[in-house]
Amino acid sequence: MTVKINENYLLLESNYIFIEINQRVEKYQKENPDAEIIRMGIGDVTRPLPKAVTNKFTEAVNEMGKADTFHGYGPEQGYDFLIETIIKGDYEPRGIKLSNEEVFVSDGAKCDTGNIQEIFDLENIVAVTDPVYPVYVDSNVMAGRTGPMEEGGRYQNLVYIPCTEDNDFIPELPKTPVDLIYLCYPNNPTGTALTKEQLSVWVNYAKKNNSIILFDAAYEAYIREDNIPHSIYEIEGAREVAIEFRSFSKNAGFTGTRCAYTVVPKEVMGYDNEGHPHSLNSLWNRRQTTKFNGVSYPVQVAASAVYSPEGQKEINESVDYYMKNASIIRESLRALGLSIYGGINSPYIWIKTPGDMDSWQFFDLLLNEAHVVGTPGIGFGPSGEGYLRLTAFNTLKNTKEAMDRISNLSI
Ligand code: MLT
C-alpha cells in the first residue's frame, strides 16, 4: 500500500509568488552582500501597531495570567465585544445593518478567502479577475475545481476576466455563465477601484444569474475618493449575493498579529442537488466551528482598540503616511514617462513595464540596477504580464531612496 497524495497540488505553480521572489532576492543578496535592498514587493506593512492597540493588547495578556480573568477557548466565531464594535465602527455609519451572527472573526483574509471555497460544490464555475491575488486561484486548484493549467498560463476550468490598460482595469461581465466570482476592491494587485455604479453592475449580474460574489475588501481603509464603496453591502441587493472579507492587517498593522473578519449575511443561499436552498451562513459557521479555534482573546481585545478614538486617529495617520508614499511613487515614475495605475485608493502602484520588457525582466532590472524589489505582474496571472507592482508600505525614507535610484536608471 502507498499513500496517495492530492494530485491537484501537482497542478500548482511550483512556488507561491512571494516565496519565489524571496528566493531570488536572497540569492542576489548572497552574491552582492553590500547591496542595500529596498523591499517593495510583498504587501507587508512597516509601521508598528498603534499605541491604543498595544496598551489594550498588554492589558489583555495580563488578564490571561490571572485565574479570575483568564480566558480558555473562546467562541470560534469571535467574541461579541469585537463583533459589536466592528458592526458599529465599519457598517452602521454606512447605513448597513448586520447581526452578530453574520460576522465571523478570523486570523486572516488570506485564510478565509482560501477556505471559503470548501463550502461550494466542485462543479461550480469560478471567475477571477486577471491579474488576481493568487490565493483565490490556488485554493481552487488545490480543491480540484480548475483542471490543469493550459498554454497561456490559464487553468482550464477557470473563467478569467482580464483587467488591463485596454479596459481601464474595469472587469467586464463574463460571456459564459459563472457561479462564484472573486472580486477584490480596491484591487490587489492593480491598485484600481470600482465606483458604486461599476460594482452595482456585478451585484445585479449575480442576482440575475444566481451567482455569488466573494468580495475581498482588505484595502478598504485606503479609499480616498467619494464614489468608491467601502463595503459591497452599500450596493442594493448585495446582502443576497455577496460574502465580504475584511482585515486588520493593512489598516492597523496586524500582518504579524493576525485578525480579520468575514461577513456572511443570512440571506445568501446555495442550493443542494434537489434545488433546496441552504444558508451559506450556517455552512460557514459549521466549517469554522469544526476547523477553527478562534482568534486569541488578547488579539481580539487589541483589534477592538482599533475602533477607539485614539486607535482611529493613529490608524488614519498610518494610512496617510503610506498614501503619501504612494503619491511619491506615482509622481516619480510618471516623471520618468512610465504609465502608472493605482495608488489613489490603494497602497499598490501598478506600472506598465517600459519598452518590450516582460515582468520578470523589469523585476531583474530594478533588483540588479536599483536594488529595489517589486512584484512581477505575471505572478498575478497572464494579464499581469508586462506590468510590475510596487507597494507603498515601506518607510518614507526608503520610498524616496528607491525612487531616486529608479530615476537614475536609463529607462
Ligand atoms: C500581497 O503582497 O499581495 C499581500 O501580501 C497579500 C496578502 O496580504 O497576503
pLDDT, tens digit, 9 for 90 and up, residues 41-59: 999 999 999 999 999 999 9
Q: How far apart are CA 386 and CA 238, in angstroms?
A: 34
Residue found under cell 529596498: 38
Distances 272 to 113, 269, 278, 280, 285 between C-alpha atoms, Å: 22, 10, 7, 12, 17
Does residue 247 line the site of ligand 1, with CB under 6 A?
no
For the cut 80, the answer to whether the pLDDT of residue 14 exceeds it is no
Nearest Cα residue to atom 4 of ligand 1: 43
Q: How far apart are CA 17 and CA 137, in angstroms?
A: 12
For the cut 90, the answer to whether the pLDDT of residue 262 exceeds it is yes
φ, ψ (nearest 5 deg) of residue 248: -95, 0
Confidence band (pLDDT; 50, 70, 90) for 241?
A: very high
Beta-carbon-side half-sphere exposure of residue 122 (alpha carbons within 13 Å): 8
Q: How far apart are CA 339 and CA 359, in angstroms?
A: 14
CA–centroid distance, residue 43 to ligand 1 (Å): 5
Does residue 394 line the site of ligand 1, with CB under 6 A?
no
For the cut 80, the answer to whether the pLDDT of residue 83 exceeds it is yes
Q: How far apart are CA 70 and CA 301, in angstroms?
A: 13
Q: In what order do the strands lie in the sheet with 387-391?
A: 340-342, 348-352, 387-391, 375-376
Mean pLDDT calculated for residue range 156-173: 98
Does residue 253 line the site of ligand 1, with CB under 6 A?
no
Does residue 12 line the site of ligand 1, with CB under 6 A?
no
Question: What H or E segment, with its residue span, contains residue 56?
Answer: helix 51-64
Q: In order of start, what are the domains of the chain with their CATH numbers?
A: 7-48+312-407 (3.90.1150.10), 54-309 (3.40.640.10)
For the cut 90, the answer to whether the pLDDT of residue 410 exceeds it is no
pLDDT digits (tens, 9 = 90+) for 267-301: 999 999 999 999 999 999 999 999 999 999 999 99
Mean pLDDT calculated for residue range 378-397: 97
For the chain, give the mean pLDDT: 97
CA–centroid distance, residue 345 to ligand 1 (Å): 16
The answer to whether the beta carbons of residues 93 and 330 sit under 8 Å apart is no
Q: What is the pLDDT of residue 16?
A: 80
For the cut 90, the answer to whether the pLDDT of residue 250 exceeds it is yes
- Give CA angle at 84 (80, 88), nearest 5°: 175
Using CB atoms within 10 A of its CB, is residue 393 exposed (0-12), middle (13-18) or buried (19+)? buried
Nearest Cα residue to atom 6 of ligand 1: 43
For the cut 90, the answer to whether the pLDDT of residue 20 exceeds it is no
Nearest Cα residue to atom 1 of ligand 1: 43
| Ligand 1 atom closest to residue 18's alpha carbon, by position in its atom list | 2
Nearest Cα residue to atom 9 of ligand 1: 110
Does residue 39 line the site of ligand 1, with CB under 6 A?
no
